[in-house]
Amino acid sequence: MGRLRRVTGALRIWARRNPVQSAGYLFLAAIAAVMLWMAVVLALHAGLFGFSVGSSPEGEELTVFATFIGGGLATAATLFGTLLTAEHNARERQRLDVTSLLEAIPPGTPQRLSGTLSATILIGQPRVAIRILEPAWDAGDVDNGTATWIIDEILADGALKHPYHMEAQFADDTTLVEAASLLLLHAKSLTNPTNRGEYAFPGHFMDGWDVSRGVPVLAKMFVLQATAEVLLSQDRDWWCEGDQMQDFPLHVWRDCALKSGEDEEVRSSAAALFSALRSCFSETEQRRYESRHPDAALIERDFRAYEGKADGECFELAKEIAEKWSNNRVETAAAA
């Protein structure tokens, strides 16, 4: 039963990714089923089985049935071969396109490595991509935009990991955690100190908590910690215009804290971070934010209410945000 479920799941995923080809194969299966049914009916009618009842078919009937069944099976075989050829050609064309693209990039340049990493993801090799990305990012050979895009693609496909994929064609839990930890490791360098408001981060965590259910809790914690580290990498004036609350990472934390079905510790960790940052703004600005996002009022205002419920590291980051940003607010007000 377990093997049957895996095969059924594989076919379901494949059908979603290849709707035209799956329709063709379903058509072929229908033809084969009709041919089989007609053959059984003919055999019963001809009295080939001891329990069958009926008169033997005449020679002309046998000829018609044989011609029809043979023609149908030949048609099915032809269509099947055509579909297999088309699928093979499509994969080969993709490979040639990727090869041509990479050959067009001068060797020994950062663009070459970025292109190779992107191509590795596009051809379904996330575990290979993360093995290349880690040392390349550490050495500064990959820019933040490419690195965060690679990590985003790996985390976004977390729910697609299944045992019927070929080796390295799915991101296992180790790869997902490694991708998230790599993001956390480089989080403080994802902002551009010379260009206010310019930063890089995985796209699924820019405006909300769009994480797949296949991502383990530890990886989610690393992503939450990374958002906090990105925030703390620059001061309040770099992020905000006066007392106006910025979207990132508030939207991410709010969405995660209110996400139904999410792990309770993950939700509490996001709520603690959200409450800590929200408390650093004036009451007027907090009310203005809640008027635009009424569900924010469902989150406790005091981040300390989540002590013991939230991840310890996330809670410590929440305390650091509350202290650092509150001091910045006092300094800004005094300067004004």
pLDDT for 85 equals 79
Q: pLDDT confidence of 233, banded at 50, 70, 90?
A: very high
Nearest to 98 by CA among 113, 120, 130, 129: 120
Output the six-digit token pair for 55: 């008169």
Q: pLDDT confidence of 110, banded at 50, 70, 90?
A: low
Of residues 222 and 88, the one with the higher pLDDT is 222
- Beta carbons of 187 and 139 less than 8 angstroms apart: no
For the stretch 277-318, pLDDT in tens is 999 999 999 999 999 999 999 999 999 999 999 999 999 999
Nearest to 203 by CA among 166, 150, 245: 150
pLDDT for 97 equals 63
pLDDT for 256 equals 95
Tell me: pLDDT of 90 over 60. Answer: yes
Q: pLDDT confidence of 165, banded at 50, 70, 90?
A: very low
- Beta carbons of 21 and 83 less than 8 angstroms apart: yes
Q: How far apart are CA 180 and CA 288, in angstroms?
A: 33
Output the six-digit token pair for 327: 């001091």
Looking at the DSSP assignment, which residues form a beta bridge with residue 225?
A: none
Kindly state the DSSP code that residue 203 receives in the 8-state scheme: G
Looking at the DSSP assignment, which residues form a beta bridge with residue 199?
A: 191
- Beta carbons of 223 and 211 less than 8 angstroms apart: yes
- Beta carbons of 164 and 192 less than 8 angstroms apart: no
Q: How is the chain split into domains, by residue range?
A: 109-201, 235-335
Of residues 231 and 125, the one with the higher pLDDT is 231
Of residues 247 and 3, the one with the higher pLDDT is 247
Q: How far apart are CA 168 and CA 115, in angstroms?
A: 19
Q: pLDDT confidence of 119, banded at 50, 70, 90?
A: confident
Tell me: pLDDT of 146 over 80. Answer: yes
Q: For the chain, what is the total number of helices (H) and then of strands (E)?
A: 13, 0
For the stretch 46-62, pLDDT in tens is 555 554 455 555 566 56
